[in-house]
């Protein structure tokens, strides 16, 4: 029977989806209809003699509003170009372990019959793989939970009129364009929700709702005579929160700033390359931390499971607990519990209660990120709750949690960091980023750069990128600003795995100083 | 998978629900079977079906877009109403273009039934061949094999409709020594799974791994003559594509922008060995009969070094009084004769690059990008590979790469680490800029 005929017979799935995930926010129990569907998979897997089964029934929604102001061809008149879209996706995925091998199958048709059929498909896949397995899958123990959790929000962004969002972005775009030398502006808002249900043959039944808010604004300026163009962005901290956060982004105020800075950047002199001291703001440093600490401490990467795509890690198992990867000032942790951080949930996609754990402690590498089928590889009895799949149709696997750096001493200010620099650069925002397949050699750009001379922040410079080797870079950290400077930023589309999946996570840090880093002059 | 008839009935259902004068619907359905392996064993694998129904509707230049994965009556009604609701709220889009009327799409199909039906019995032997070969040499293999079968249909109230179906597959493998001292890689994308041979592919990756093992030479950063294998060309060329946009070029933000204004259309910018075109009917690519709903066609972007065309979407084409081109996809860089080792023979001193990794823009206007070599970098001396070389970071522009091209080999379909891939030859390039050394293996 074709998929479409099965679905027509199934009836109104859209209403069904709404009914499945409905229920008061404060309810602590999963919806009974979800549990009934989940049970269909678990019973079928048991009947077919799988040793483990879990099912995720998920619904995703993405609402994106974008407004671009740019000159009309021929007239130069500013056109205001809106774009609005609203996407949903609903389906389920089943994982099984059969004869020690994983199998997975997924479908967009959410009916008991299809759930049973797809469970059978997952077992077929597992049977085929069993002949190629090297060792049976081993899962760390986990308690059974029956729970319901919602990420904190005051105003559901999907209930806010689209017209309000469009008006906001138009207002901000027009503010940017008040600078006559700005060629174009773009404003962007995205609201993402994940309704997730997880049930496992080990007795868990967990329903969660996560809402995330993303935004950015950008100004572009062009010098036709010098064949040069520059952009300047403001990216507010993306968070797992509701529309109440949008007002706190202060988009209009930042629009006024970036419209001037993009013009200044366009005329800024190029950097003189050489070894320099860098003061890196949280809006920039978060990405360096993500790439050079977050990724190499993923256990599956260190064990070779990512070797064919993103590579392995220089942090091999023999270095755990021993290798100095940073200065004494650097303490970095992984977690999925920080309030409103992007990767924060109550339970991961293995059904493990999430937690906080150290990764780098006073500069020493002390912990990997793990999931249930990895924990035993490092002699641990429990998973650190880092399992995630980006869709009902994706296989859950180990993904980076929120990874953050502890702030420095209370009385260390940003000015303290700057005043200790004779010849250096302050970098804000993200630009180009590239790191090798074991997370050693990297090169990072930024969004804006200011020269620091004789302990003072001077004018903007341009064409800056820095290169370093991860452990050398982090050991060159000799100053971290205090808690009042600590800010969280985030990565919204981190790619990993084959087929590639995306993930969002937050990274918090204070401004920090790094000594004598190689700076190059780019185009 | 949806048939043509089922797709047309589905799009008809959607259009009948629409209350606005303009409405278009596109449907994509993709079934994928895959096996992922590492440490000489399977890690994850599965069979998935994904579907997207995208509705775009509006009136008087106001447009709303909504998407769902469900196809029952109430889901389709909901997605149409949502799109209409968005259209009612959205301000008029000054760049709106009228929907396309009936188009004449090419009568072309490159769908392979065997690939579409392939499951474990067809996939497992290829993976087993790779793993067995690695084990025999006491090496460790990781990789990914998949096949996809897709249908795409699109229809609108102006009477246009098209339906296409395609298949695709790819096997890639990274083979490493157990102690992590060396790594080799090979990959083969193919519209037909039957063209993939796990044993041959693993032999190539194993050869790279074994050759590279040993004391790798540390070279100083600088400019080198390089022989780039097709995957390496594909890895960096991905960053040349955005600059081909006519709008970007006219707005002064592209390599093809002219100093003082205008574009470099018609100018000779590259050596005569460089011809770049889009060719959706090259059977090495999966089927594509429509591109942005326009009939897919062959178009030459660069001909013997001269910039012949830029990408005009329908709006920019209308403003420029030109024909729209469709996007620059299904790219073919014309080749000559011989594989990478044939090009190596003609190089006195240089480097053979298997592929690049983590390539990202540094300056989108000049195309300058940065990334690293990976899985097989070798010194060439007097036409022979003499030593493995420590991996290097490059900071280079794909346009400058083409400008410095000295020779081309036979072109093959290739896809490196990221991106859609292309059909490209190996290239010999002088003065390719490397800026630092990497310890990574």
Angle at A355 between CA A351 and CA A359, to 5 degrees: 125
Confidence of residue A165 (pLDDT cuts 50, 70, 90): very high
Q: pLDDT > 70: what percent of chain A?
A: 97
Using the beta-carbon criterion (under 8 Å), do B72 and A14 form an inter-chain contact? yes
Nearest-neighbour CA in chain B from A71: distance (Å): 9
**pLDDT mean across residues, chain A:** 94
Q: Which residues of A touch B2 (CB under 8 A)?
A: 2-4
A456-509 residue pLDDT tens:
999 999 999 999 999 999 999 999 999 999 999 999 889 999 999 999 999 999
Considering only the beta carbons, identify the residue of A12, A70, A437 that sits closest to B440: A437
Closest CA in chain B for residue A314: B440
Considering only the beta carbons, identify the residue of B73, B140, B374 that sits closest to A437: B374
Using the beta-carbon criterion (under 8 Å), do A128 and B393 form an inter-chain contact? no
Residue A108 pLDDT exceeds 80: yes
Q: Distance (Å, rounded) from C-alpha A386 to C-alpha A344?
A: 10
Q: Distance (Å, rounded) from C-alpha B36 to C-alpha B343?
A: 33
Q: Which residues of A touch B222 (CB under 8 A)?
A: none
Left if phi > 0, otherwise alpha if psi is -120 to 50, otherwise beta: which for A142? beta
pLDDT of residue A1: 37
Using the beta-carbon criterion (under 8 Å), do A166 and B37 form an inter-chain contact? no
Nearest-neighbour CA in chain B from A481: distance (Å): 29
Using the beta-carbon criterion (under 8 Å), do A85 and B75 form an inter-chain contact? no
Pick from B133, B134, B151: nearest CA to B28: B151
Pick from B194, B132, B175: nearest CA to A132: B132
Nearest-neighbour CA in chain B from A441: distance (Å): 5
Contacting residues for A260 by C-beta, under 8 A, at least 6 apart: A179
Closest CA in chain B for residue A10: B72
Q: Which residues of A touch B366 (CB under 8 A)?
A: 523
Closest CA in chain A for residue B316: A73
pTM of the model: 0.94
- Number of other CB atoms surrounding residue A357 within 10 Å: 17
B349 forms beta bridges with B381
Using the beta-carbon criterion (under 8 Å), do A395 and B374 form an inter-chain contact? no
Q: Mutation test of the interface with chain B: which of A498, A499, A502, A517, choosing the one with the most B Cβ atoms within 10 A?
A: A498
Closest CA in chain B for residue A438: B440
Residue B107 pLDDT exceeds 50: yes
- The per-residue b/e assignment along A206-222, b for 16 or more CB within 10 angstroms, e otherwise, is bbbbbbbbbbbbbbbbb
Confidence of residue A5 (pLDDT cuts 50, 70, 90): very low
| A509 class by beta-carbon count within 10 Å (0-12 exposed, 13-18 middle, 19+ buried) | buried
pLDDT of residue A10: 43
Q: Which residues of B touch A223 (CB under 8 A)?
A: 252
Tokens of A228: 């040069």
Residue B292 pLDDT exceeds 60: yes
Q: Kindly report the three-state secondary structure assignment for every residue of chain B.
A: CCCHHHHHHHHHHHHHHCCCCEEEEEEEEEEEEEEEEECCEEEEEEEEEEEEEEEEEEECCEEEEEEECCCCHHHHHHHHHHHHHHHHHCCCCCCCCCCCCCCCCCCCCCCCHHHHHCCHHHHHHHHHHHHHHHHHCCCEEEEEEEEEEEEEEEEECCCCEEEEEEEEEEEEEEEECCCCCCEEEEEEEECCHHHCCHHHHHHHHHHHHHHHCCCCECCCCEEEEEEECHHHHHHHHHHHCHHHEHHHHHCCCCCCECCCCCECCCCECCCCCCCEEECCCCCCCCCCCEECCEECCCEEEEECCEECCCECCHHHHHHHCCCCCCCCCCEEECCCCCCHHHHHCCCCEEEEEEEEEEEEEEECCCCEEEEEEEEEEEEEECCEEEEEECCEEEEECHHHHHHCEEEECCCEEECCCCCCCEEECCEEEEEEEEEEECCCC
Considering only the beta carbons, identify the residue of A225, A309, A434 that sits closest to B370: A434
Pick from A474, A448, A471, A479: nearest CA to A461: A448
Nearest-neighbour CA in chain B from A93: distance (Å): 8
What CA–CA distances, in Å, run from A13 to A19, A32, A62, B68?
A: 10, 17, 18, 11
CB B130 within 8 A of CB B197: no
Considering only the beta carbons, identify the residue of A125, A307, A391 that sits closest to B174: A307
H-helix or E-strand containing B131? helix B120-136
Q: Mutation test of the interface with chain B: which of A434, A439, A496, choosing the one with the most B Cβ atoms within 10 A?
A: A434
Considering only the beta carbons, identify the residue of B93, B128, B360 that sits closest to A432: B360
Using the beta-carbon criterion (under 8 Å), do A105 and B393 form an inter-chain contact? no
Q: Mutation test of the interface with chain B: which of A129, A138, A290, choosing the one with the most B Cβ atoms within 10 A?
A: A129
Q: Which residues of B touch A79 (CB under 8 A)?
A: 94-95
Using the beta-carbon criterion (under 8 Å), do B64 and A84 form an inter-chain contact? yes
Residue A2 pLDDT exceeds 90: no
A186 forms beta bridges with A68, A218
Tokens of A516: 């004598």
Closest CA in chain B for residue A91: B69
Residue B246 pLDDT exceeds 80: yes
Q: Which residues of B touch A308 (CB under 8 A)?
A: 36, 38, 142-144, 172-174, 185
Using the beta-carbon criterion (under 8 Å), do B41 and A134 form an inter-chain contact? yes
Confidence of residue B386 (pLDDT cuts 50, 70, 90): very high
**pLDDT mean across residues, chain B:** 96
Q: Which residue has the tokens 């970007």?
A: B248
Confidence of residue B197 (pLDDT cuts 50, 70, 90): very high
Using the beta-carbon criterion (under 8 Å), do A441 and B124 form an inter-chain contact? no
Mean pLDDT of A283-290: 97
- Number of other CB atoms surrounding residue B98 within 10 Å: 10
Residue A263 pLDDT exceeds 60: yes
Using the beta-carbon criterion (under 8 Å), do B261 and A89 form an inter-chain contact? no
pLDDT of residue A13: 62
Angle at A42 between CA A39 and CA A46, to 5 degrees: 135
pLDDT of residue A9: 41
Confidence of residue A65 (pLDDT cuts 50, 70, 90): very high
CB A476 within 8 A of CB A277: no
Considering only the beta carbons, identify the residue of A104, A303, A522 that sits closest to B363: A522
Pick from A85, A15, A5: nearest CA to B78: A15
For chain B, how many residues are written?
441
Using the beta-carbon criterion (under 8 Å), do B67 and A134 form an inter-chain contact? no
Pick from A377, A375, A376, A371: nearest CA to A398: A371
For chain A, how many residues are written?
523
Confidence of residue A26 (pLDDT cuts 50, 70, 90): confident
Q: Which residues of B touch A107 (CB under 8 A)?
A: 48-49
| A323 class by beta-carbon count within 10 Å (0-12 exposed, 13-18 middle, 19+ buried) | middle
CB B228 within 8 A of CB B429: yes
Neighbour order of strands in the sheet with B422-424: B306-307, B299-303, B276-278, B331-333, B422-424, B412-414
CB B35 within 8 A of CB A129: yes
Pick from B300, B269, B278, B265: nearest CA to B400: B269
Using the beta-carbon criterion (under 8 Å), do A105 and B360 form an inter-chain contact? no
Q: Which residues of A touch B365 (CB under 8 A)?
A: 227-229, 523
Considering only the beta carbons, identify the residue of A4, A93, A129 that sits closest to B10: A4
pLDDT of residue A150: 94
B42-80 residue pLDDT tens:
888 888 889 999 999 999 999 999 999 889 898 999 999
Considering only the beta carbons, identify the residue of A129, A435, A467 that sits closest to B42: A129
Considering only the beta carbons, identify the residue of A103, A183, A443 that sits closest to B251: A183
A184-217 residue pLDDT tens:
999 999 999 999 999 999 999 999 999 999 999 9
| A423-428 vs A274-280, strand pairing mode | parallel
Q: Mutation test of the interface with chain B: which of A2, A68, A82, choosing the one with the most B Cβ atoms within 10 A?
A: A82
Considering only the beta carbons, identify the residue of A128, A306, A441 that sits closest to B440: A441
Confidence of residue A8 (pLDDT cuts 50, 70, 90): very low
Interface size between A and B, measured as CB pairs under 8 A = 314
**Positions of E strands within A338-409:** 356-361, 364-365, 387-388, 397-398, 402-405
Nearest-neighbour CA in chain A from B5: distance (Å): 12
Using the beta-carbon criterion (under 8 Å), do A229 and B73 form an inter-chain contact? no
Which of the two residues, B418 and A1, has the higher pLDDT score? B418
Using the beta-carbon criterion (under 8 Å), do A304 and B363 form an inter-chain contact? no
Using the beta-carbon criterion (under 8 Å), do B34 and A445 form an inter-chain contact? no
Closest CA in chain A for residue B145: A498
């Amino acid at each position: 029977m074709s998929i479409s005929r099965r679905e027509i017979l199934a009836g109104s799935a859209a209403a069904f989806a709404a009914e499945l995930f409905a229920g008061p926010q404060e309810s602590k129990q999963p919806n009974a209809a979800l549990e009934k569907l989940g049970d269909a998979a678990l019973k079928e897997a048991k009947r077919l003699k799988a040793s483990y089964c879990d099912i995720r029934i998920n619904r995703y929604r993405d609402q994106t509003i974008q407004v671009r102001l740019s000159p009309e061809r021929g007239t130069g008149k500013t056109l205001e170009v809106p774009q609005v879209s609203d996407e949903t996706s609903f389906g389920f995925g089943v994982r099984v372990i059969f004869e020690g091998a994983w199998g997975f199958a997924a479908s967009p048709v959410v009916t008991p019959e299809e759930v049973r059929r797809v469970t059978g498909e997952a077992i077929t896949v597992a049977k085929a793989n069993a002949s190629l397995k090297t060792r049976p899958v081993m899962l760390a123990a986990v308690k059974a939970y029956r729970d319901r959790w919602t990420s904190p929000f005051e105003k559901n962004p999907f209930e806010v009129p689209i017209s309000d969002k469009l008006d906001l972005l138009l207002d901000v775009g027009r503010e940017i364009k008040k600078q006559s030398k700005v060629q174009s502006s773009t404003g962007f808002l995205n609201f993402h929700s994940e309704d997730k249900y997880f049930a496992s043959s080990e007795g868990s039944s967990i329903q969660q709702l996560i809402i995330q808010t993303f935004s950015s604004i950008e100004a572009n300026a062009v010098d036709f005579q010098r064949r040069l163009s520059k952009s300047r962005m403001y990216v507010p901290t993306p968070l797992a929160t509701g529309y109440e956060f949008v007002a706190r982004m202060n988009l209009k105020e930042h629009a006024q700033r970036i419209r001037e800075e993009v013009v200044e950047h366009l005329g800024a002199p190029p950097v003189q390359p050489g070894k320099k001291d860098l003061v890196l703001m949280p809006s920039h440093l978060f990405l360096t931390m993500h790439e050079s600490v977050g990724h190499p401490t993923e256990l599956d990467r260190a064990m070779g499971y990512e070797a064919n795509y993103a590579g392995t890690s220089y942090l091999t198992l023999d270095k755990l607990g021993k290798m100095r990867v940073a200065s004494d000032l650097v303490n970095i942790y992984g977690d999925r519990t920080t309030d409103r951080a992007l990767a924060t949930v109550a339970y991961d996609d293995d059904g493990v209660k999430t937690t906080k754990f150290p990764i780098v402690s006073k500069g020493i590498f002390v912990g990997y990120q793990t999931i249930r089928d990895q924990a035993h590889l490092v002699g641990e009895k429990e998973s650190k709750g880092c399992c995630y799949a980006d869709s009902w149709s994706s296989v859950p696997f180990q993904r980076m949690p929120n990874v953050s750096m502890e702030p420095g001493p209370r009385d260390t200010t940003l000015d303290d960091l700057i005043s200790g620099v004779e010849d250096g650069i302050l970098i804000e925002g993200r630009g180009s980023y590239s790191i090798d397949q074991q997370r050693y050699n990297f090169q990072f750009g930024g969004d804006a750069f200011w020269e620091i001379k004789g302990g003072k922040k001077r004018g903007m410079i341009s064409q800056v990128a820095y290169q370093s080797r991860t452990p050398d870079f982090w050991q060159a950290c000799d100053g971290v600003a205090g808690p009042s400077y600590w800010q969280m930023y985030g990565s919204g589309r981190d790619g990993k795995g084959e087929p590639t999946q995306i993930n969002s996570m937050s990274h918090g840090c204070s401004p920090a100083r790094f000594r004598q880093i190689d700076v190059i002059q780019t185009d | 998978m949806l048939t043509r008839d089922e797709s047309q009935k589905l799009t008809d259902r959607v259009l009948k629900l629409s209350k606005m004068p303009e409405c278009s619907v596109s449907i994509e359905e993709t079934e994928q079977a895959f096996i992922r392996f590492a440490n000489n064993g399977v890690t994850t694998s599965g069979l998935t079906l994904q579907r997207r129904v995208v509705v775009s509707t509006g009136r008087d230049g106001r447009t709303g877009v909504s998407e769902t994965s469900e196809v029952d009556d109430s889901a389709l009604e909901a997605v149409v109403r949502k799109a209409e609701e968005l259209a009612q709220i959205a301000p008029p889009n000054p760049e709106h273009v009228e929907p396309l009327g009936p188009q004449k799409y090419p009568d072309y199909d490159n769908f392979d039934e065997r690939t579409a039906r392939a499951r474990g019995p067809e996939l497992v032997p290829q993976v087993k061949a790779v793993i067995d070969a690695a084990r025999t040499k006491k090496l460790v293999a990781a990789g990914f094999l998949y096949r996809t079968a897709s249908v795409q249909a699109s229809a609108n109230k102006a009477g246009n409709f098209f339906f296409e179906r395609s298949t695709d597959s790819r096997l890639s493998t990274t083979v490493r020594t157990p102690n992590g001292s060396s790594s080799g890689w090979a990959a083969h994308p193919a519209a037909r799974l039957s063209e993939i041979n796990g044993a041959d592919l693993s032999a190539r990756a194993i050869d790279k791994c074994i050759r590279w093992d040993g004391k790798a030479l540390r070279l100083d950063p600088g400019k080198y003559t390089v022989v780039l294998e097709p995957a390496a060309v594909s890895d960096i060329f991905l960053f040349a594509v955005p600059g081909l946009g006519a709008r970007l070029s006219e707005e002064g933000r592209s390599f093809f922008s002219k100093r003082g204004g205008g574009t470099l259309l018609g100018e000779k910018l590259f050596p005569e060995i460089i011809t770049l075109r889009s060719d959706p009917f090259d059977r090495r690519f999966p089927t594509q009969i429509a591109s942005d709903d326009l009939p897919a066609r062959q178009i030459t972007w660069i001909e013997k070094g001269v910039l012949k065309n830029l990408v005009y979407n329908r709006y920019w084409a209308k403003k420029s009084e030109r024909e729209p081109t469709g996007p620059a996809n299904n790219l073919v860089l014309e080749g000559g004769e011989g594989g990478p080792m044939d090009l190596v023979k003609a190089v006195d001193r240089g480097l053979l690059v298997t592929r690049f990794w983590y390539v990202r823009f540094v300056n989108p206007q000049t195309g300058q990008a940065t990334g690293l070599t990976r899985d097989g970098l070798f010194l060439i001396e007097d036409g022979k590979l003499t030593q493995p070389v420590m991996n290097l970071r490059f900071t280079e522009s794909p346009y400058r790469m083409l400008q410095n091209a000295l020779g081309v080999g036979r072109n093959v379909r290739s896809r490196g680490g990221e991106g859609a891939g292309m059909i490209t030859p190996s290239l010999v390039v002088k003065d390719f800029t490397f800026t630092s050394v990497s310890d990574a293996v």
